[in-house]
Structure 1
Amino acid sequence: MKEFLSKYRWHATAALAAISIAILFYFSQNKNMDSTEQKYTPSETAVQPGAGTSAGDTAGAQSGAAEAQVPDEIYVDVKGAVKHPGIYKADMDERVYDLIQKAGGFEKNADQSQVNLAQRVKDEMVIQVPEKGKKTVPAQPAGTASGTAAQPASDAASGTPGEAAEKININTADEAQLETLPGIGPSKARAIIEYREKNGPFQKPEDLKNVSGIGDQTFAKIESSITLQ
């Protein structure tokens, strides 16, 4: 028996060594597989749910907010020398003239020269039509339309205080106001009003030179003192 064990001892030793190597290899492979799975775990959760649609959602929200700022309906208050004063519904592209027609038109004593008929209407606007021989002091909001309406805020902010008030609106000014312009006397003031009533509001300041008696020299004197707004 001793001879047998001595003879085959190295076979047993080799077998044990092979078994040990196989066990070590097995555990080594399992460990590597666990490490690989842990390594790729973050990449599977890197993309947050809904990240691909966040930009679209934001754009949609902004678009909805912009639409909410546009008024669904416009209402204008027509006062003074019109046949049926009151609050009237209007469209975005309508003018002061259109709203006065909705109010039945001018009364016989209305001073049409003090109203800018071509002005586009706005929501909450007040159209004040004065009587002849009377002057009105309208409220200050930019939407007010009358002969002495306040200048737009952009004009008032682009110079020294009071500069905007000094300009004369050649589309709404009466004869007395036009005569305050340099070189404009009673006859030229009447000519401006007659031209305006016949041809409608001035579209640009240079149109004044189409009025009889107003040439380049006269226009050059008054150009900085007039406005169409």
Structure 2
Amino acid sequence: MKTVSLGASRPSAVNFRMPTRDNLVPIRVDLEVDGQRYRDAFTWNPRDPDSEIISFAKRTAKDLKLPANFVPQMLQSIQGQLAEFRSYEGQEMQIKEKIVPLKIDLRVNNTVIRDQFLWDIGNLDSDPEEFARTLCDDLNITDPEVGPAIAVSIREQLYEIASQSVSVMREKQLSKKGRRAPEFSSNSKAVNNAVDLFKYFGSKGSVIRKRKEWYLYEPVVDVVANEEDGKEEANNSSR
């Protein structure tokens, strides 16, 4: 699998963005309108105009035969999540040479996948979609909806880490303005889970697990039968 060198120096602080090659925002929609429920997860380019959101909502409602008043609610949901993402833009976030553990626990149609792996958040060329495709190929997962669901889950976790790193920078800046500048310690579980793996791997590491470490991070895939009662669905797609 593709490896990424961790030896090159990286800036200690950069303007906020997704720590991935493509600056795509994970969007999750869960709406119930006139007794009909719609759940979906996908990625969105924050630079796209709002007219694209309107067209997407109208097209989705038409294709799925959803009520007309579904459109403004979906529009509001997507716009709200994009507004939150944009509120971080222009602010500094801390990017360190750290590797964080990410976890996947999803059910998509009849496929259940659980996995955990290590991700270099300092690698701004990482690609969750490529990772998801490779993982599905390695695990012989044929459902085309599983890969996009995995990618969205990864992006959601990376987004949380990136937004929390903005708070870290804010605290550091505030502490410098005070009389005393105590060392800031993040309460973020995601940030505190970051581990420096250089002492294990030297100057090089992989965005994903090495095969010799699969006994530590072994993916689990199950195929479940259809269940009419209490069935849990994850309807995910990529835009």
Question: TM-score w.r.t. structure 1 length?
Answer: 0.22
Whichever structure has more helix as a proportion of its residues is: 1
Whichever structure has more strand as a proportion of its residues is: 2
Larger radius of gyration: 1
Question: TM-score w.r.t. structure 2 length?
Answer: 0.21
Tell me: higher relative CO, structure 1 or 2? Use CA pairs within 8 A at least 6 residues apart. 2
